[in-house]
C-alpha cells in the first residue's frame, strides 16, 4: 500500500497565551478530497498555515508522502507541490488579471520577462478555473466581482504548480465557494474532482456541508484546536457532523418570533443603478425581514449599495424615511440606515485596526475626534452581547476568525443603533453556530421594530429568516411574497429564469 499523502499527529501551536492548536490528528490519501470542518475559531486556518509554511508547529509531526514536512516558508511549500487558496482573495487590486496570476512566477530569460510565455501560462490557468467563460487578461482586478477574484486566486494556484515543475501534490482550499454563484461553484467542484482524479490531494475547508456530501470522501472535524471526529462522508449523517462541529444539537437554527410590520421605512419604484439593478420596486417596513434571492451577479449587492449611497442611482424613485432621492453614505447613516458589506475584508472592516476602532470609526465626538473611553466601553459591551471571541477590545480585527469579524461588522451597526440594516451575505464563510447566532439576532432586531433587508445566496437561510422574499433575475426584482408561500425549488427557478 502507498503512503498517505498527508499525516498529522498531535500538532500543537501557541500564539502567546492563545492555544490555537491543541492536538490535531489528520490523514488524507493520494487523490482524496478530504473535508476539514469546524466552527470559526476551531483552528482550521492555523492548521492550513502550518501546512503552507506560513507558521511552524510547536510540537507534533507533519508528514507529506511519508517524509517530514516543515517548509521554511510559503515559497518553498509552493515549490514542493503545495498550493493554497485563502477564503479572502490576496490579490493586488491595482494590477491586471494576468499580472496577479503570474505574480512571483513570471517566465523570464536573462532577467527579461517573456510576456508571451507568461500570457500562455496565465491563459491556460484561467481556462481551467473559469471553464468556457472568458476572462480578460488585462482587466483591472479591483473592477472585478468578489466571485471572479476568488476564481483568479484558484487560477494562480494552478499556474504556480505548473510553473514550479513539480506535480500538484496538495491543494488547500479555504471556503472556495463562499463568494461564488451556482454555476461558478459547480465549475469549481468539477475542477476539484479533476485534480483529485489526477493524483492531487485536496484539503477542502468549508462550512457548506451540502458540498461535502457531493465532493469529499472523508472528513475531519476540529473544535477548540483539537480533532474531535473523523470518518467517511457517505456513512455519516449530516446531523452527526453538525453535532461534532458545534458540540451540541443545532436543530433550531432559524428561530422565528412573531413580527409585526409597521410603517414603510425604505421604498423604491422602478429604481435603476449605473449598471445594476435595472428595475427594482419594493417596500421594507419596520419589524420585518425582507429577503432578496438571486444568483451572484443578478444585482442584489448593487441594489443595497444604491440604497446606502455607495453606487449612483440612474433613474427611478428611492425614498428612505421622509427623504426622497439618493444621498451619501454619511447622510444615510444619520438617517438610521446601516450597511454590512459581503466583502468584509475589502470594505466592510479595517482589518489592521482594533475591534473598538472599527466600532467607532464612523461615530465621532463633537470635535471630530474619537472618544477612546466610550469606544472601549461600547466594544466591551458588544463583545459580551454578541459573543465575539477575541482577547479584548484592543485586538486587531484581522486576527479574528471570519465569523467573529462578521459579528464586529454587525456590532458597528448596532452601536450606531440604526433602524434599517442592509445585510449583504451576512453568513458568507462562517460556521453553523455563528450562522444560527446571526439568524437569532436578525429575528430579535425585527421583533424590536428594526427593518432588515437581507441578501443571501443560501435559500434555506432566506426561507428560515425572512418574512417576505423577492427574487432578482438579471437586474430585475420580482414581487415580494410571504416566505411561507415560497419553496427553494421555486425560488431557484425564478432566480435563473427557468
What is the total count of domains within the chain? 2
Q: Is residue 258 part of a domain?
A: no
Question: What's the grid cell of residue 385?
Answer: 452581547
CATH number of the domain enclosing 160: 3.40.50.300
Asked whether residue 112 falls in the same domain as residue 179, the answer is yes
Name the average pLDDT for the chain: 88
At 81, the pLDDT band (50, 70, 90 cuts) reads: confident
Asked whether residue 189 falls in the same domain as residue 320, the answer is no
Asked whether residue 68 falls in the same domain as residue 216, the answer is yes
Distances (CA, A) of 403 to 38, 295, 400, 406: 12, 23, 8, 5
In terms of Cα–Cα distance, which of 254, 259, 283 is closest to 467?
259
Q: Is residue 139 part of a domain?
A: yes
Q: Is 58 helix (H, G, I), strand (E, B) or coil?
A: coil
Q: Name, in order, each residue with C-beta under 8 angstroms of 31's C-beta and a sequence gap of 6 or more.
A: 196, 197, 198, 199, 200, 201
Range of the domain at 100: 6-246
Asked whether residue 130 falls in the same domain as residue 176, the answer is yes
Asked whether residue 14 falls in the same domain as residue 82, the answer is yes
Q: Is residue 32 part of a domain?
A: yes
Q: Is residue 1 part of a domain?
A: no
Asked whether residue 180 falls in the same domain as residue 313, the answer is no
CA separation for the pair 7, 29 (Å, rounded): 9
In this structure, the strands spanning 226-232 and 170-174 are unpaired
CA separation for the pair 174, 203 (Å, rounded): 8
In terms of Cα–Cα distance, which of 196, 171, 176, 203 is closest to 24?
203
Q: What are phi and psi for residue 320, nearest 5 degrees?
A: -120, 115
Domain boundary among 216, 246, 276: 246
CA separation for the pair 115, 253 (Å, rounded): 52
Q: Is the pLDDT of residue 367 over 50?
A: no
**Portion of the chain with pLDDT greater than 70, in percent:** 96
Mean pLDDT of the 200-217 span: 90
Q: Is residue 194 part of a domain?
A: yes
Q: What are phi and psi for residue 287, nearest 5 degrees?
A: 80, 25
CA separation for the pair 248, 242 (Å, rounded): 8
Asked whether residue 406 falls in the same domain as residue 312, the answer is yes
Asked whether residue 348 falls in the same domain as residue 384, the answer is yes
Residue 195 is predicted with a pLDDT of 87
Q: Is 486 helix (H, G, I), strand (E, B) or coil?
A: coil
At 368, the pLDDT band (50, 70, 90 cuts) reads: very low
Q: Is residue 259 part of a domain?
A: no
Q: What is the pTM (predicted TM-score) of this model?
A: 0.67
Amino acid at each position: 500500500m502507498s503512503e498517505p499523502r498527508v499525516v498529522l499527529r498531535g500538532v500543537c501551536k501557541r500564539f502567546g497565551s492563545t492555544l490555537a492548536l491543541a492536538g490535531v490528528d489528520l490523514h488524507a490519501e493520494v487523490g482524496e478530497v478530504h473535508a476539514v470542518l469546524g466552527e470559526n475559531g476551531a483552528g482550521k486556518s492555523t492548521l492550513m498555515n502550518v501546512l503552507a509554511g506560513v507558521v511552524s508547529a510547536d510540537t507534533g509531526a507533519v508528514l507529506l508522502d511519508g517524509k517530514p514536512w516543515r517548509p521554511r516558508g510559503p515559497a518553498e511549500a509552493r515549490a514542493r507541490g503545495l498550493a493554497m487558496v485563502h477564503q479572502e482573495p490576496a490579490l493586488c487590486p491595482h494590477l491586471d488579471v494576468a499580472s496577479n496570476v503570474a505574480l512571483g512566477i513570471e517566465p523570464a530569460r536573462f532577467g527579461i520577462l517573456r510576456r508571451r510565455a507568461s500570457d500562455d501560462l496565465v491563459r491556460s490557468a484561467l481556462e481551467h478555473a473559469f471553464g468556457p467563460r472568458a476572462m480578460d487578461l488585462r482587466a483591472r482586478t479591483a473592477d472585478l466581482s468578489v466571485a471572479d477574484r476568488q476564481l483568479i486566486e484558484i487560477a494562480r494556484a494552478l499556474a504556480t504548480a505548473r510553473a514550479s515543475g513539480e506535480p500538484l501534490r496538495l491543494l488547500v482550499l479555504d471556503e472556495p465557494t463562499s463568494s461564488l454563484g451556482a454555476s461558478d461553484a459547480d465549475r469549481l467542484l468539477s475542477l476539484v474532482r479533476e485534480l483529485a482524479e489526477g493524483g492531487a490531494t485536496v484539503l477542502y475547508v468549508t462550512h457548506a456541508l451540502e458540498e461535502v456530501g457531493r465532493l469529499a470522501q472523508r472528513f475531519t472535524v476540529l473544535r477548540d484546536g483539537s480533532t474531535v471526529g473523523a470518518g467517511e462522508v457517505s456513512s455519516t449523517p449530516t446531523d452527526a457532523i453538525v453535532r461534532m462541529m458545534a458540540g451540541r444539537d443545532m436543530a433550531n437554527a432559524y428561530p422565528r418570533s412573531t413580527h409585526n410590520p409597521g410603517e414603510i421605512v425604505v421604498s423604491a419604484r422602478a429604481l435603476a443603478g449605473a449598471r445594476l439593478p435595472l428595475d427594482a420596486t419594493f417596500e421594507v417596513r419596520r419589524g420585518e425581514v425582507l429577503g432578496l434571492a438571486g444568483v451572484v451577479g443578478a444585482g442584489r449587492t448593487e441594489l443595497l449599495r444604491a440604497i446606502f449611497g455607495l453606487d449612483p442611482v440612474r433613474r427611478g424613485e428611492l425614498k428612505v424615511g421622509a427623504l426622497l432621492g439618493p444621498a451619501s453614505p454619511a447622510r444615510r447613516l444619520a438617517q438610521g440606515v446601516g450597511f454590512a458589506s459581503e466583502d468584509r475584508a475589502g470594505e466592510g472592516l479595517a482589518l489592521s485596526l482594533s475591534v473598538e476602532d472599527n466600532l467607532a470609526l464612523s461615530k465621532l465626538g463633537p470635535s471630530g475626534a474619537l472618544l477612546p473611553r466610550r469606544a472601549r466601553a461600547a466594544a466591551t459591551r458588544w463583545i459580551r452581547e454578541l459573543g465575539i471571541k477575541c482577547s479584548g477590545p484592543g485586538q486587531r480585527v484581522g486576527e479574528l476568525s471570519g465569523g467573529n469579524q462578521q459579528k464586529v461588522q454587525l456590532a458597528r451597526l448596532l452601536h450606531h443603533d440604526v433602524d434599517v440594516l442592509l445585510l449583504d451575505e451576512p453568513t458568507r464563510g462562517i460556521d453553523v453556530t455563528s450562522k444560527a447566532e446571526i439568524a437569532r439576532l436578525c429575528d430579535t432586531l425585527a421583533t424590536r421594530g428594526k427593518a432588515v433587508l437581507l441578501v443571501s445566496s443560501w435559500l434555506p437561510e432566506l426561507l428560515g429568516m425572512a418574512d417576505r422574499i423577492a427574487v432578482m433575475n438579471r437586474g430585475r426584482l420580482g414581487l415580494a411574497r410571504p416566505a411561507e408561500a415560497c419553496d427553494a425549488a421555486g425560488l431557484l427557478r425564478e432566480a435563473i429564469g427557468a
